[in-house]
């Protein structure tokens, strides 16, 4: 009995240890097969860390200032294939596939990627309508072309950055018929799907994300939505159906035009005929 009480006392004491004793958040960085774990303190101490201002921050919807490092600096000296991507995995199941030529750009006349780091001593504000901030790590863009970077290419709450083969190479289940012409709308829809939808959804079981359901198995949305309703749902899910915990955001026309939504639907309808079953 004495040992039982001693065990309960130790358990109680262990549960009362302040949260400050918890391990600091760290970013997993796997580049070219080599893995590092970088804490916020390590990244903030880098000589290339500087303050940047993002005039139109996608996550916060306003101008924000961050301490950040150029993302291209973290990828220096790595030789990768031309179709490689940087996979950004967030803590909520969101996984963005970022083209390597985009994230390695240093030309200030375009869009330059920066890894913003939340200083534990100066936490960022909570995201609109959320109970958390965009930290501890958030990929932001500055430069004249930053507005052209799509909303799903601003991943926040990043836990892991990993170089990978392109999604089409990595997951053949996403593929369209090779005989389709390069100008076929289905191919344009596939590209948009990978950028805008694949960050949350899988298709034919393919993908890394788990924030939303598979969009081909067991059923494709084009099989149970009328075309106009599906278009409206992609534009703003809450305008069709809403529920507590809904995670899918609305897409403003400057992030996803009506024509682009139609192209995504075209790809989905095409893939409804190309289901991969085990």
Domain termination site, one of 165, 186, 206: 165
Q: Give me the half-sphere count of Cα atoms (radius 13 Å) on the Cβ side of residue 233.
A: 17
**Residue 191 belongs to a domain with what CATH number?**
2.60.40.420
What number of H helices and E strands is found in the chain? 8, 9
How many structural domains is the chain composed of?
2
| Assigned token pair, 108 | 């200030």
Is 2 a residue whose pLDDT tops 70? no
Confidence of residue 15 (pLDDT cuts 50, 70, 90): very low
Domain termination site, one of 165, 181, 207: 165
Q: What SS3 class is residue 268?
A: helix
Q: What is the pLDDT of residues 202-215, one digit of tens each?
A: 999 999 998 899 99
Instruction: Domain of residue 142: give its range.
Output: 23-165
Is 13 a residue whose pLDDT tops 80? no
Is the backbone peptide bond immediately before 238 cis, with ω within 30 degrees of 0? no
Is 154 a residue whose pLDDT tops 50? yes
The reply to whether 236 falls in a domain is: yes
Q: What SS3 class is residue 264?
A: helix
The reply to whether 121 falls in a domain is: yes
Same domain for 266 and 243: yes
The reply to whether 6 falls in a domain is: no
**Residue 83 belongs to a domain with what CATH number?**
3.90.420.10
Q: What is the pLDDT of residues 54-83, one digit of tens each?
A: 999 999 999 999 999 999 999 887 777 778
Selection from 19, 178, 124, 149 nearest residue 71 by Cα: 149
Same domain for 174 and 160: no
Is the backbone peptide bond immediately before 237 cis, with ω within 30 degrees of 0? no
pLDDT confidence of residue 70: 97
| Assigned token pair, 191 | 């590209």
């Amino acid at each position: 009995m004495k040992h039982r009480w001693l065990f309960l006392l130790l358990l109680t004491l262990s549960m009362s240890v302040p949260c400050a004793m918890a391990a600091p958040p760290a970013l997993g960085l796997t580049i070219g097969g080599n893995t590092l774990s970088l804490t916020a303190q390590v990244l903030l101490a880098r000589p290339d860390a500087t303050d940047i201002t993002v005039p139109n921050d996608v996550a916060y919807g306003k101008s924000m200032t961050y301490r950040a490092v150029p993302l291209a600096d973290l990828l220096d000296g790595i030789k990768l294939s031309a179709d490689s991507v940087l996979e950004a995995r967030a803590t909520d199941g969101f996984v963005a596939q970022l083209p390597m030529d985009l994230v390695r750009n240093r030309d200030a006349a375009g869009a330059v990627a920066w890894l913003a780091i939340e200083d534990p001593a100066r936490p960022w504000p909570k995201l609109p309508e959320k109970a958390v901030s965009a930290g501890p790590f958030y990929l932001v863009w500055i430069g004249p072309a930053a507005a052209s970077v799509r909303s799903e290419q601003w991943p926040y709450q990043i836990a892991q950055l990993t170089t990978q083969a392109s999604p089409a190479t990595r997951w053949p289940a996403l593929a369209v018929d090779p005989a389709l012409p390069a100008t076929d709308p289905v191919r344009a829809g596939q590209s948009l799907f990978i950028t805008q939808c694949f960050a949350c959804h899988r298709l034919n079981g393919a993908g890394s994300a788990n924030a939303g359901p598979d969009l081909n198995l067991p059923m494709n949305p084009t099989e149970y939505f009328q075309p106009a309703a599906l278009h409206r749902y992609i534009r703003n899910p809450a305008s069709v159906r809403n529920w507590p915990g809904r995670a899918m955001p609305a897409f403003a026309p400057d992030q996803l035009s009506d024509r682009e939504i139609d192209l995504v639907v075209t790809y989905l309808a095409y893939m409804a005929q190309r289901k991969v079953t085990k």
